[in-house]
Amino acid sequence: MQSTATFLDRFVKVKPKEIIALLVSCGYFYLILCAYYIIRPIRSEMVIANGVDNIQWLMLMTVIVLLLITPIFGWVTTRFRTRQFLSYCTLFFAAQLVVFYFLFDVEQRAPNVTRAFFIWVNVFNMFIVSLFWSFMNDVFSREQSKRLFAFIAAGGTAGAISGPIITTTLVQQLGLAPLLLISASVLSLSVVCILWLTRWQNEEFSTDDSVHIVRDEALKGGIWGAFKLIIKSPYLLGICLFILLYAVSITFVEIQQAELVAASFDDPTQRTRLFSTVDFTVNVLALIFQLLLTTHMIRWFGFRATLMIVPVGITLGFGLMSSMPILAVMVGVEIFRRSGDYSIMKPTREMLFSVVSREEKYKAKNFIDTTILRGGNAGSAWAYSVVKSLGFAGAGVAGVSIFLGLAWCSTAFWLGSQFEKRTAEANKQTAATPQ
């Protein structure tokens, strides 16, 4: 254990009693992102198979499905303990991958199957990652999140690197369908991590003379609790706006990338390999930043400035795309956006929820990370379609995006200020509490 602590000290400030929990959390995130990134290139291929012009309809259907799921998820969280609903949701998604295996393992896939798979992967990714970070904010304290979240995110990035390697290596030999079974198997293993972490006693998250044990209990509130929590909180509404503007950057870049890839490659296997290569490059860069820079950046520049790095960079990227709307530039911006998202913005964005209530961490956060984000994607896809119908070329679309990027930067600045204010108030309350 001492040698492990010495090695980890090079990358993260971890205390001896946190080491096992840190490594289990990394393993948990590794497994769920590895499972997702095995199938992510297949999802990207489904966009082209259905026609890039139809993506706005697929996005809209994704939002509808998420809206239908929201009350069901609210009901589950109020009826089952933390360990149960996290495990049940994970195994439910794994079982659905098995169903898709049989639907894919045919000579000619039906169009409705490819559309359903695209929608399902979007829902799966949003839910499983959102639940993971909600759980992490439940397991670790606010102080621990600043020290440990970037390293935990690196565990997920390692999984995101492994997934594309598996897909790139096996897709030509096995085809698409068997990859779904591999993904389901990897995802199912993460339940072991959930069970261990719900029993961990966190001595750094203590109250009075007792240690914090993850509250393995059902949440309070009704099935529509997420809406009520968000409407009552300007802070949560600010996060919603931040996510909506973030969705614009995802959708505009991805659609333009898909259009250029479709024009450059006719073979689905070649397109899948290209998407896998981009995924691999993104995640290698993200892993390097997470291990060597992110935690230090928060300490050097402060939380607010770190949260703003990616919005500012993407806004500048839109300016570059408006002057040179070619595949190489588009792929470069996409690599920056995603690697910066995973390594810098994702850990800082998740820290925003370390200063809210437990019910907000699960219900409100899950709604924001799923329905709000995908709603933003769908709205952006329709907006992109309208802009294109008005005769704007890629440069014009990127130019419109610059103005939205500036709004995104302003929102990040406000949220960072609110987080620092809440953190300072919480620290004062802790200092004033008799020990």
Q: Is residue 417 part of a domain?
A: yes
Q: In this predicted structure, what is the pLDDT of residue 205? A: 60
Is this structure's pTM higher than 0.85?
Answer: no
Q: Is residue 123 part of a domain?
A: yes
Q: How confident is the model at residue 411 (pLDDT cuts 50, 70, 90)?
A: very high
What percentage of the chain reaches a pLDDT higher than 70?
73
Write out pLDDT tens, residues 202-249.
766 655 445 555 554 545 554 456 777 888 888 999 998 998 888 877
**CB-based burial of residue 115 (10 Å sphere; 0-12 exposed, 13-18 middle, 19+ buried)?**
middle
The residue ranking higher by pLDDT, 86 or 6, is 86
Q: Write the DSSP assignment of 261-325 as a string of letters.
A: HHHH---HHHHHHHHHHHHHHHHHHHHHHHHHTHHHHHHHH-HHHHHHHHHHHHHHHHHHHHH--
End-to-end CA distance of the chain: 31
Q: Which residues face 202 on adjacent strands? A: 212
Residue 159's contacts (CB-CB under 8 Å, 6 or more residues apart) are 29, 30, 31, 32, 33, 34, 35, 37
Q: Is residue 3 part of a domain?
A: no
What integer best gives the mean pLDDT of the chain? 77
Q: In this predicted structure, what is the pLDDT of residue 2? A: 55
The residue ranking higher by pLDDT, 4 or 246, is 246
What's the CATH code of the domain at 359?
Answer: 1.20.1250.20
Residues spanned by the domain of 133? 10-432
Q: Which residues face 210 on adjacent strands? A: 207
Q: Is residue 2 part of a domain?
A: no
Q: Is residue 155 part of a domain?
A: yes
47 within 8 A of 262, measured Cβ to Cβ: no
58 within 8 A of 115, measured Cβ to Cβ: yes
Specify the DSSP class assigned to residue 375.
H
Q: Is residue 4 part of a domain?
A: no
Q: How confident is the model at residue 299 (pLDDT cuts 50, 70, 90)?
A: confident
Q: Write the DSSP assignment of 138-156 as a string of letters.
A: HHS-HHHHHHHHHHHHHHH
Q: Is residue 5 part of a domain?
A: no
Rounded Cα distance, 87 and 249, in Å: 32
Most confident of 87-101, 138-152, 213-227, 238-252: 87-101
Reading the block at residue 261, the tokens are: 């890839």
The answer to whether the Cα torsion of 88, 92, 98, 102 is positive or negative is positive
Tally the domains of the chain.
Answer: 1
Residue 263: CB atoms within 10 Å: 10
Residue 29 has pLDDT above 90, yes or no: yes
Residue 398 has pLDDT above 70, yes or no: no
182 within 8 A of 305, measured Cβ to Cβ: no
